[in-house]
Amino acid sequence: MSDGALSQAEIDALLGGGGAAAAAGGGGFDGLGALKDCLNGTVEAQSSNISAMTGGGVKFGQPELSSANRDAFLAQLPDTVTSVKIDFTSGFPGEHLFLMGEETAKGIASLMNKEENPALDDMAMSVIGEVVSQMTGTEITALTNKTGNKSIASASPEAANLAKATVALPGGDFAVALYGLDMGDGKQHKVWEIFGPQVVSAITSAIQAVAPQQRPGGAHTGGGLGVGNVGSSVFAQTPGVQAVQFPGLSSGIGPREQGNIGLLMDVFMEMTVELGRTRKLIKEILSMGEGTIIELDKLAGEPVDILVNHVPIAKGEVVVIDENFGVRVTEIVSPAERMGELG
């Protein structure tokens, strides 16, 4: 909404989510500490992952989390910013974006593309979007572990450099996480992460709902059975006993399987980049000599295929890094497509 006020439907949604937000202009949200704890736990992984992507020593500081409305927040921003919109589409659906100043955006693009003072063109927006997508993926993993919600997903990043007044911010009050960012250039950069009110309400409610189950000793609130209450006498002492309920079967990977995957992390696998393919008769192959041109089944500029043990896992574009060829990943093949290749 452009006037910065919450609609009645938004107010009802926020109140129905466990009181995670106050009315617009009334001082923001309750329960932000739960979200902040979750974000704090990702900082080390964020620093490590982005450093690996950029090849530089990138370090994120602990976020400062607060609530704001459009006018108050825009006053903190430089006149021109790079906005990366990457809404949550499931799990905790709602508005979500990252903002940074032009100098910070150029610094990230410079590290990714290995060039000095890059222009904030389509290529720069693409690589900045990749960085933000990686950051969001790390947060989704943390939120999944915190809440047990395995359906969390985000949209593809949409990056643009624009005047701050034209940034599409959530209506009413929203949550802002401010990160300090050190890219090794001697400057202190800032990155703002914005969570829409529906996202904040859903996340904080989900974290608070599972918190009692995670206390030491497995104790539960609300009269449930605790660990160690085994035996026939417990039924006479506990009036709220309910029939056992079995969860539905899931095809997801459980904690034990995820732990076992760590045993394979040091195994070498063959990675191949395929420019294209063609079919030739044996007589054509035998007639090849120096200077023969082989036409492939790909058009110039098309993404190349990235294969691991001959199975396609991604697509990318060819780049040159210090006089060597490299490939920048632009698309990850979906698990369904990968399973189809294996079948």
How far lies 331's CA from each of 65, 130, 306, 327, 328, in Å?
Answer: 32, 10, 10, 12, 9
Could you give the angle at the alpha carbon of 334 between the alpha carbons of 332 and 336, nearest 5°?
A: 160
Long-range contacts of 332-336 (CB under 8 A, 24+ apart): none
180: left (phi over 0), alpha (psi -120 to 50) or beta: beta
* Full pLDDT tens readout for the chain, 343 residues: 445 555 555 544 444 443 333 333 334 566 688 888 899 999 998 888 888 887 778 899 999 999 999 999 999 999 999 999 999 999 999 999 999 999 999 999 888 888 888 889 888 898 899 899 999 999 999 999 989 898 999 999 999 999 999 999 998 899 999 999 998 888 889 999 999 999 999 998 898 888 665 544 444 444 433 334 444 343 344 444 555 555 555 444 554 444 556 667 778 888 999 988 899 899 889 989 888 999 888 888 888 999 888 888 899 988 888 778 888 898 888 766 666 665 5
Which of 108, 312, 303, 305 lies closest to 190 in space, CA to CA?
Answer: 108
Please, where are the H alpha helices in 213-286? 233-237, 255-261, 282-286
pLDDT of residue 339: 60
Q: What are phi and psi of 324, to 5 degrees?
A: -110, 150
Round to whole Å and give the CA distance between 59 and 175: 22
pLDDT of residue 85: 95
Please, where are the H alpha helices in 8-101? 8-16, 32-40, 43-54, 70-74
pLDDT of residue 88: 95
Round to whole Å and give the CA distance between 159 and 176: 18
Q: Is 182 exposed, middle or buried (0-12, 13-18, 19+ CB in 10 A)?
A: middle
Structural domains of the chain, ranges and CATH numbers in brackets: 8-208 (3.40.1550.10), 267-342 (2.30.330.10)
Q: Are 340 and 311 in contact (CB under 8 A)?
A: no
228: left (phi over 0), alpha (psi -120 to 50) or beta: left
